Amino acid sequence: MFWEESARDGAQAKTLMRADLRVRLARETGRIFGADGPRHVVFAAGFPAVCAEEFEAVRQVAVEAEGAVSVAAVCRGVDRDVEQAVASVRGSRDARVMVVVPASDAMAGVMVHRGAAQALEAAADLVKRARDRDETLAVDVCLADASRADAALVAHHAQALTEAGAGLVILADTVGSQLPRACHDMFARVRAACGPEVVLASHLHNDLGLGLANTLQALAAGVRVVSSSWLGIAERAGMVATEQLLFLLARHGEELLGADAAPWWTAPVLTRLPGIARMVADETGAPLGVTTPIVGTGVGTISTGTPFVHPELFQPYDPREVLGVEPRVVLTQLANARVVSAVAARLGHTLDPERTRAAMDWAKTRAYRSGEAVTDDAVFAAYLEGLTRTDVAGAR
């Protein structure tokens, strides 16, 4: 199961998703799994206690995205916040509430002005009260800063929270400081000290660029519910990107999860990933660059000779077959004659060898003079039109 955080934690990346965009994103994310969207995706719709407008946005997602995903409201470990969160998703099928509770003494001192043990003990009562308010809701607990907490204490309270009625116990590397081995050890130690009824989940930030690596370590330790965010948008440097994690599990699930793993009720449709990523980029301003894995603008592009002749040797997968992305030849300063001819043909021009060499020289010179690697199709087309006019004039 994926806990999708782009609408909630993504707000801390200095983005703000309108309510209608959250609904659209929730529905599109759920459609990756068809009718099994609610079984595979928990969509964190927002933090209702922020303000009345945020409450209404979460409520709109709960009402309008029902059946596409499981909608979750997120709150602090304060009774009033929990009450608001429950109210924001009440009546929505498969709805959840996630209560954030500090797990380390340092974080507890800042968040609730008490020790971690006291904060964790109080969390069990919050879970019970939330369930009393609406027994149809699943209530999850996110243990903030679990990466810097005592693993034995975390395990003890993960068990207690589950016995109090918690559905998931989410261990968070809140500041993104864990290294992969330490991340694996955290999940493995907590898992070993808990009963099988405790369901652990991950929420791992990317401040050291290790969000994906750490999430894979959590999966290797047996975790089967993972938090992620489209394009990785989240607080500070973000977290593991949904599109990357989905792609890897769909393509390499057996290697990552084990030969006997059966991770899907319905396997994800990967051709939906690029379109959703573009939507998130367009609406939030989050960058979608040439080097963004899986959904970036460089996927499926070829600009040099050998990859043009043997593209399969330079790609880990076929972008057309797997993602529905059509391969595209791009004209840069690295172009050889084959690349120049291919781009010209795409633009409706057939070049003889002499004109091909002339066009190649022109493209290289232009790139270095302008300082721009890629020659825009319109600019190259205009140059080719000049070549054509020269040919016609010479024939006359």
Domains in the chain, please, with CATH?
2-284 (3.20.20.70), 300-396 (no CATH)
Distance between CA atoms of residues 141 and 130, nearest Å: 11
Segment among 161-165, 375-379, 389-393 with least mean pLDDT: 389-393
Segment among 78-82, 96-100, 212-216, 308-312 with least mean pLDDT: 308-312
What is the DSSP pairing of strand 301-302 with strand 225-228? unpaired
Chain centroid offset of residue 186 CA: 23
Q: What is the mean pLDDT of residues 367-382?
A: 94
Q: What is the mean pLDDT of residues 381-386?
A: 92
Residue whose C-alpha is closest to residue 249's, from 315, 182, 294? 294
Q: What is the mean pLDDT of residues 281-293?
A: 91
Q: Which residue has the tokens 């968070």?
A: 172
pLDDT, residue 390, reads 59
Per-residue pLDDT reduced to its tens digit, 25-50: 999 999 999 999 999 999 999 999 99
Mean of per-residue pLDDT scores for the chain: 93
Per-residue pLDDT reduced to its tens digit, 60-76: 999 999 999 999 999 99
pLDDT, residue 396, reads 43
Q: Which residue has the tokens 């205009």?
A: 382
Q: Which residue has the tokens 């991770």?
A: 263
Return the percentage of the chain with pLDDT > 70, whole number. Answer: 98
Q: How many residues does the chain have?
A: 396
pLDDT beyond 60 at 391: no
Residue 127 sits at the vertex; the CA angle it makes with 123 and 133, to the nearest 5 degrees, is 140
The CA dihedral of 375, 376, 380, 385, to the nearest 10 degrees, is -170
